Amino acid sequence: MSSSDRPATQAAAPSSGARAFKAVFAVTKAVAIVGGFAACLLSLMALFGALQVGLTMRAILALVVAVLVPLGLIELALRVSKRERSGGLASDILAICWVVFPLLFVGVAHGTSSPLLLREGDRLARAGMSRSAHAAYLLAGVDAVTSGSAGGSGRGVAVKAKAKIKTKTKTKTKTKTKTKTKAALARTVEGKDGKRRVISAAELFRRNKPAVVSIAVKRLTGGGSGTGFIIDDRGTIATNYHVVHHAKAVRIKIDGKWATRVYLLAEDSHADLALLRVESEAAPAPVVLGDPMKIEVGERVVAIGNPLGLDHTLTDGVISARRVLRGRRLIQMSAPVSPGNSGGPLFNMRGEVIGINTAQYGGPWMRAQNLNLAVPVDVLKKMIKPSYPKKKLLETYGSSAGTW
């Protein structure tokens, strides 16, 4: 090789490295744009979920914001730089916007964004969009892990989704049970050996029917109904959050009589639980709150509720599994539940409430029989307090409305 060729050869090496760098940069930017756009859309949909709009509207709003904001920044950058063509500027701004916003939303504002993303994941899962729901749960910092088999002991359930969920339950449940629910817990002892005995479904129903209440609500979008149950001698009622959420007016029927005043004591949207209180001259005896950590797969259970307004309907089944779904511990059972059962008690055969019936598993295009879910009652126990300073009086309406 002549000496005249050496400078050309030496100059070619940096040019090759520059091309490789540009190629890697282009691929990285493309991945950032695609992945960042998806994360940006999910984050925006979670934000717009607070507006209580449908899936299609949330997607449209998120898409509009995700596209228009970067386009506005691109236009501004072109004006400032006085360039006629954007070149790589447009893609750079798109990548930055679609990556930085999710990082700020998911990372910096994690305490605020995590519940929003979890609720968005729940909404997407109910719509049958399992992959999008899983992505939302991952952004929320939760792995949606389920147990492998419903036929096991129930103790080997995969608790890969945040071990702290299980730890918190064990440490706090003992403390919370020493509250104003002593009247309910005092009924847990029966028999000469100090243990509660197994009773028949008929006896269980007879004992607990008065404590199971019917809940009717009015919303801007129409009416609804659900179930609740009395947990102490002060008229405190447990139900699902989604039963009373956004209700303009609520009325509760207890043992055939309508309560005149209803208070909202506490609510937890992530756990899907709410506590109400009624003023009643003679409230029925409360239910007994059991220990869901002692349940076994295959154990018989009974649900009492108001499916489709048919009050005090009893159904039975077995515990199918103990699961962790979407970051939440849930009891899977085969006892049939329908719309109107939400918020009702799930009993073991010793007459103890071990869960709050909350949902049927699946979406509009993914249905199966008797895949029903209940929130473990120890999650409810954590909400029970001696007093509720932020309680508020709910509007009620006449007993002539609705059908019962």
What region does 80 belong to: left with phi over 0, alpha with psi -120 to 50, or beta? alpha
Catalytic residue among 132, 147, 225, 242: 242
Catalytic residue among 214, 320, 342, 378: 342
Q: Which residues contact 158 (CB under 8 A, 6 or more apart)?
A: 145, 146, 147, 148, 324
C-alpha distance from residue 10 to each of 20, 23, 67, 328, 342 (Å): 16, 21, 45, 62, 75
Measured between its terminal Cα atoms, the distance across the chain in Å is: 99
Instruction: Please say if 270 is a catalytic residue.
Output: no
Cβ burial of 188 (10 Å; 0-12, 13-18, 19+) is: middle
* Cα angle 393-381-275, degrees, rounded to a multiple of 5: 15
Q: Where are the alpha helices (DSSP H) in 245-354?
A: none
DSSP secondary structure code for residue 252 in this structure: E
Task: Tell me if 269 sits within 8 A of 241, measured CB to CB.
Answer: yes
Q: Which residue has the tokens 């120890």?
A: 378
Largest Cα–Cα separation, the chain: 108
Task: Tell me if 262 sits within 8 A of 248, measured CB to CB.
Answer: no
Catalytic residue among 272, 280, 311, 320: 272
Please provide residue 372's backbone torsions phi and psi, each rounded to the nearest 5 degrees.
Answer: -115, 155
Instruction: Please say if 334 is a catalytic residue.
Output: no
Instruction: Please say if 134 is a catalytic residue.
Output: no
State how far the Cα of 62 lies from the Cα of 60, in Å rounded to an integer.
5
Neighbours of 312 (CB within 10 A): 16
The length of the chain is 404
Which amino acid is present at 111?
G
Catalytic center residues: 242, 272, 342
